[in-house]
Amino acid sequence: MKYKVIDKTIIARIDKGEEIVSSITDICKKENIKLGKVSAIGAVNKVKIGLFKTGEKKYYSDILTGEFEITSLLGNITTMDDEVYLHLHINISDSTFKTFGGHLNEAYVSGTCELIIDVIDGHVDRKFSDEIGLNLLELDDK
């Protein structure tokens, strides 16, 4: 992985064989990013995606292998317990143009991944909600 910082934006290239989520986490730790938004495109050959069933408060995931284009990877960067917390979603397309999508747990680059992180000044933490069953943004009531 290589990246360049331009003002409050990070442009990164994640290379073949590298894992996307851990690469984003590494950048956030090295650059001390506490809040931001993520977007990316590229190609992957192994992806673990998931879906949270709100009625069950249970998370389901599956691993897809093959050749896929990343048609969209979006998400945000916050913190939880003073650690980087990524919330990422991905859409991928196979050779028949069938798409798959969900919460991104991990993805391995098969060609390249072009990533942009827009850094936001500030800090937003997360806290687990027993009612919802997810780690929710902690925001002041206004």
Is residue 54 situated within a structural domain?
yes
CA distance linking residue 107 with residue 49, whole number of Å: 9
CATH number at residue 108: 3.30.1330.80
pLDDT per residue over 95-122, tens digit each? 999 999 999 999 999 999 999 999 999 9
Is residue 26 situated within a structural domain?
yes
Q: What is the four-CA torsion angle of 23, 72, 96, 65, rounded to 10 degrees?
A: 20
Record the tokens describing residue 57, joined without a space. Answer: 């408060």
Q: Which of 81, 96, 84, 77 is nearest to 36 (CA)?
A: 77
**pLDDT at position 16:** 98
pLDDT per residue over 54-88, tens digit each? 999 999 999 999 999 999 999 999 999 999 999 99
CA distance linking residue 94 with residue 108, whole number of Å: 15
**pLDDT at position 141:** 66
Q: Which domain holds residue 13?
A: 2-126
Is residue 75 situated within a structural domain?
yes
Complete DSSP assignment for 68-126: EEEEEEEEEEEEETTEEEEEEEEEEE-TT--EEEEEEEEEEEEEEEEEEEEE-SS--BE
Is residue 140 situated within a structural domain?
no
Is residue 27 situated within a structural domain?
yes
Instruction: Count structural domains, the chain.
Output: 1
User: What number of other Cβ atoms are within 10 A of residue 9's Cβ?
Assistant: 12
